[in-house]
Structure 1
Amino acid sequence: MHRDDDFCAELAAGLDPDSWVCLPGVDYAAGWRVAREAADELNAVLTVCGVERSQLRAIADTDATGGPLVRLEGVAEGWLSLKELLCLAAYARRELT
């Protein structure tokens, strides 16, 4: 069994201060709005392709300088669905070229 201090050490090792420290004067909201629009569009495409939000979803975020980021978060089933969709897209692309 892991001790609590081992768990905390693992958490601390994974922390990236640049990902959570807000800099004065940076317009994080503007970057987040751009990311939100992209995330909404990606979520709509995933839904049309049959991937449920509970399996895989795009999440709007920003980087340390306020730039837009879109993160994908999901369970194994969602990632496998995405893999299948990407394989189909790669196959279709080869047929078109």
Structure 2
Amino acid sequence: MDGDDDFGAELAASLDPDSWVWLPGVDYAAGWRVARQTADELNSLLAACGVARTQLRAIADTDSTGGPVVRLEGIAEGWLSLEELLCLAAAVRRGAH
């Protein structure tokens, strides 16, 4: 524990049963495979831009209906690297128009 007295209440409030209860008949594996391919491609692109997986990475997941979801998870350094890359991309895009 980090000394946060509301840790338990905060954790309970963040639990969304729709995000972790699997429904019978839903093909979660198919959605996850699509998300996995996309996450792998994004991770390769991040690596090519010099962002280490230990700093920022894409993670495959599914939503409550089995749809593909890709989540980004990282530490502050990784998010700052992404911010820098997005600023560079925005500048290039503005220059192209």
Q: TM-score, normalised by structure 1?
A: 0.94
Deviation at 1:10, TM superposition (A): 1.3
- Fraction of identical pairs, as percent: 76
**One-letter code of the match for 1:41?**
E
- Residue 49 of structure 1 corresponds to 49
Compute the displacement of 1:60 (Å). 0.1
Q: What is the number of residues matched between the two proteins? A: 95
| Structure 2 partner of 1:25 | 25
- Give distance in 2, aligned partners of 1:70 and 1:91: 26
What one-letter code is carried by the residue in structure 2 that aligns with 1:68? Answer: P
Q: CA offsets per residue over residues 70-91 of structure 1, 9 Å max, x none?
A: 0000000000000000000000
| Structure 1 unaligned regions, length at least 5 | none
User: Residue 62 and residue 91 in structure 1: after superposition, are their counterparts in 2 closer, same or farther (change >3 A)?
Assistant: same
Q: Which runs of 5+ in 2 are unaligned?
A: none
